[in-house]
Amino acid sequence: MYTIERIQRIPISLEEAWSFFQNPGNLSKITPSEMGFDILSEVPEKMYPGLFINYKVSPLFGIKMNWTTEITYVDAPNYFVDEQRVGPYAIWHHEHHFKEIEGGVEMLDRVNYKVPLGLLGKLAHPLIVKPKLEEIFDFRIQRVEEIFGKWEK
């Protein structure tokens, strides 16, 4: 099992952060366009436990894949969790935490994941999978700063 984690501070209120991130439709705004990210299912503006979201995504080499996640936990406005039900990972557990701090919000993204394909997956992880995930989460930080502004504290 592997973990990727990012912490980001943004100069907005907890309510503004929660309003943006709880809306599944906004995920495409913070995902690299080359991933070909398309939400296939109807999604509400506010997530809830038990919500399934179906996507098409091209994480590597332009190959389109189906990805289905379930929102498994929601504690508004503090955190929510999505877990892969169908997709490229053997396990995908993604936590989104939000904490009010002086002058804004601190967000923590933590993904615990397992690659498929046994030994082949383990070999591909440091060469392909981990760098791609790092790139995606770095892009997300950049886009969130573009949307909400840079933390100046």
Domains held by the chain: number:
1
Average pLDDT over residues 73-87: 97
Mean pLDDT, the chain, integer: 93
Among 17-26, 54-63, 89-98, whose mean pLDDT is lowest? 54-63
Share of the chain above pLDDT 70, in %: 99
Q: Does 7 fall in a domain?
A: yes
Per-residue model confidence (pLDDT) at position 101: 96
- List phi, psi (to 5°) of 30: -120, 20
- CA angle, residues 32, 152, 136, in degrees to nearest 5: 15
Q: Does 153 fall in a domain?
A: no
42: CATH: 3.30.530.20
Average pLDDT over residues 4-14: 97
- The pTM score is 0.92
Structural domain containing residue 82: 2-148
List strands edge to edge, sheet with 65-75. Answer: 2-10, 104-114, 91-101, 79-86, 65-75, 52-57, 38-39
Per-residue model confidence (pLDDT) at position 35: 86
Average pLDDT over residues 111-135: 93
